[in-house]
Amino acid sequence: MSAKHHSGSRPDSRARSRVSDGQIFRILAESVHGCGVYSVDPDGHVAGWNQGMERLTGYPAAEIIGRHYGCFFTPEEQQAGKPQKALRTAAQNGSFDDECWMLRKDGSRFWAGSSLTAIRNSKHKLIGFARVTQDLSERMQARDALHHANAQLAKEIRKCHASERHLADSQRSLREVSLRLLRAQDEERRRIGRELHDTVAQYLAMLKMHLESVDLSPGRPASQMAAQIAQCARLADDSLKEVRTASHLMYPPTLEDLGLKSAIPWYLDGFSRRSGIHTTLEIDADFPRLENGVEVALFRVLQESLTNVHRHSGSNRALIRLYMRRGRVTLEIQDAGKGMPAELLEHTCKDWLGAQGVGLRGMRERMHQLGGDLLITSDQHGTQVRAVVPVEAAVAASQ
């Protein structure tokens, strides 16, 4: 009887100790903290659901069990067939890990990290999948913030490098300009020294010789003495004119006293006499006085340009225009010479040095400091230099 009882009690004990696969899943799913865990059947329909998934998605188990897990994917990924691809990959490889946007019940999105694992029975038959999901939105935001910070840092580094290159270019340009100014000063000094030696010094030497030859002995005819003294006076007067011309060219007092409108005709008169080049001046009758620095800069552009016309263009005439239009003061110097070849124009604009020393490159930089520009165009019909300055920077303050 006891044996009979023993044999009859064995099935009851196995029944009491047996736990279903669903119970095992629920026990494991609820033991996972900070993640959502759910299971799906081989076709992708939700079969198990833990509280973590309810917190992540807003779906209670009663509303989601039996629905296809593709409802958590975005419409774009659903249309691309990603839910089915994930199931196939997990079935083939055993698992499929991914990060993507997931949808909540209310339609909002969160960035999720998921691991989809295939579940097989003892006969290796696929009976479903388990998916562990974690909300990585904060991590993604931190990563995006880091990427943004890195991008901003890279941008700032590029700006710093650009600034360093610009500074290096500016320093190199400054050194070049400084060297050009030193060379220009030497050239100007040589020019002045040559002019003084060839004119004033010769006049003074002749004056000295004539003064030494004056015969003041008693009985000498007064007319002879007067003629010698008159010749000495002419030599002294010629010397004085040459000194005045040199000083006026360096800084004409007419420019400071009467302005550009009066200084330009004075300069053109002397330039035509010295060079033989006919000049024509067109200037507005009501052209106003300008700020002193602007007038000096424009006058130097005129000097440099006409020096180049005389030395290089081969032109026998030059047209000068000075006018104020549309908020700008413009000085134009146009010759009818052979012009400059196109391939040399840019280089010439940078390296052109005239008799006044600083050259047109320095004049362009001076125009830039005044908020204006210096433009040079040239073809087979001649060359035009145009200096432009904004009116607000050019017009002198009212008295």
DSSP secondary structure letters along 314-330: --SEEEEEEEEETTEEE
**Is 356 exposed, middle or buried (CB count within 10 Å of its CB: 0-12, 13-18, 19+)?**
buried
pLDDT tens across the length of the chain (399 residues): 444 444 444 444 444 444 445 554 555 555 555 689 999 999 999 999 998 999 999 999 999 999 999 999 999 999 999 999 999 999 999 999 999 999 999 999 999 999 999 999 989 999 999 999 999 988 888 888 888 889 999 999 999 999 999 888 888 877 776 776 667 666 767 767 777 777 777 778 877 777 777 766 676 677 777 787 888 888 888 777 777 666 666 667 778 788 888 889 988 988 888 888 999 999 988 888 888 888 888 998 898 888 888 887 888 899 999 999 888 899 999 998 887 766 555 554 544 444 333 466 667 777 888 888 888 888 888 889 999 999 875 665 434
- Among 135, 169, 196, the domain boundary falls at 135
Q: For the whole model, what pTM was predicted?
A: 0.47
- Among 82, 113, 135, the domain boundary falls at 135
Nearest to 238 by CA among 209, 205, 189: 205
In a domain, 88, yes or no: yes
Distance, CA of 388 to chain centre: 23
State the greatest distance between any 2 C-alpha atoms of the chain, in Å, as a whole number.
187
The torsion region of residue 81 among left (phi > 0), alpha (psi -120 to 50) and beta comes to left
Q: List phi, psi (to 5°) of 174.
A: -65, -40
Distance, CA of 191 to chain centre: 41
In a domain, 22, yes or no: yes
In a domain, 244, yes or no: no
Nearest to 239 by CA among 211, 262, 267: 211
Count of helix runs (H) and strand runs (E) in the chain? 15, 10
Q: Which residue is associated with the tokens 């009663």? A: 62
Q: Angle of helix 359-369 relative to helix 342-351, nearest 10 degrees?
A: 70
Q: How many domains does the chain have?
A: 2
**Can you give the residue range of the structural domain that contains 25?**
2-135
Q: Are strands 278-283 and 317-325 parallel, antiparallel or unpaired?
A: parallel
In a domain, 175, yes or no: no
In a domain, 285, yes or no: yes
In a domain, 284, yes or no: yes
- Among 135, 162, 187, the domain boundary falls at 135
CATH number at residue 352: 3.30.565.10
